[in-house]
Amino acid sequence: MPQVRDYTTDLPATDTINEQETVAEKSPLFKKIDEALMNKVALFTSSYARYAARAILATLFLTLGTAAAFGTALQAEKILPGSGKFTFAFMFSWSLVMIIFMGAELGTSNMLFVTVGVYRKKIHFSTAAKVLGTTLLFNLIGGVFFAYLISLTGAFQDLPSSNYLFDGIAGKLSKSSIQIFVEAIFANIIVNTAFFINLRMKDDAGKVMAIIFVIFIFAFLGYEHVIANFPAFSLAFFASHGTIAGMTLGSVLHNIFFALIGNYVGGALVIGMTYAWMNKTKTNYVD
């Protein structure tokens, strides 16, 4: 684990650090969030390459989970039409289990961490922007690269023109801006709820079960998660050899843009800022 550095020395002199730390100590959840954030910033500052590697690993695990989800859905649809949605959601949920337990850096969870860090005056805005921007960039690089490699495997060779993967991605790309935005808000509310659960629970088996069933919600409902769409879009493109109806650079960027904004609202603002504000209290009602 990287060494935790004290970044409070970088804060303006007007900040009341001691008072903030007292509030943080009253909330076990936010004490863990502060510690996790400081670890991220320390690694980012001391070894950019190692931080980038953790961000790439996040989409390695996400690509594996996505491939397993689509692979099982393709087979399930052959046996029982309509069942693919259930198998997809269950298998996809393991992606976040791998990301959390393998210590990878996911952009949509870091939206919460860095925003809360700025609000609580633990880091500067410029640091938050650099950490989040780097995470998203290397999530994208990993998602495209590993999706290409997965597309070369047997499960995604010679797929029919109409199947669960291709039809599902075509459906995503045909959504309106407002639909993508709203679904993305809910998607990252769910994802960051899973991260909160992971921080609050102690038993690993319980964490795994909780994460799977929470992530199942957004995967089953087909909500928009910008990082998950990196490998999903890439896998569909490579496996179809670019023949999916409606898949253009414009339609992909349209989805990514509104999913990114919606994910930020859901994770950083609805969950992160709301809970940070509620826990900034003189009472003992903290998380």
What is the model's pLDDT at position 25? 52
Q: Does domain 24-278 have CATH number 1.20.1080.10?
A: yes
Q: Three-state SS for 31?
A: helix
Q: How far apart are CA 252 and CA 258, in angstroms?
A: 10
What is the model's pLDDT at position 196? 94
pLDDT band at 287 (very low <50, low <70, confident <90, very high): confident
* Cα separation values, 118 from 11, 126, 196, Å: 11, 9, 18
What is the model's pLDDT at position 245? 86
Of all residues in the chain, the percent with pLDDT exceeding 70 is: 91
For the chain, domain boundaries: 24-278
Q: Rounded to 10 degrees, what is the CA torsion of 113, 116, 117, 121?
A: 180
- The predicted model scores a pTM of 0.89
What is the model's pLDDT at position 248? 95
Average per-residue pLDDT for the chain? 91
Q: How far apart are CA 12 and CA 44, in angstroms?
A: 21
Place of tokens 């938050």: 128
175: nearest Cα among 237, 219, 224: 224
Average pLDDT, integer, range 71-85: 93
Sign of the CA dihedral with 140 first, then 145, 151, and 154 last: negative
- Confidence check: pLDDT of 102 > 60: yes
| Residue burial 124-159, b: 16+ Cβ < 10 Å; e: rest | eeebbebbbebbbebbbebbbbbbbebbeeeebeeb
Q: How far apart are CA 37 and CA 213, in angstroms?
A: 26
What is the model's pLDDT at position 3? 44
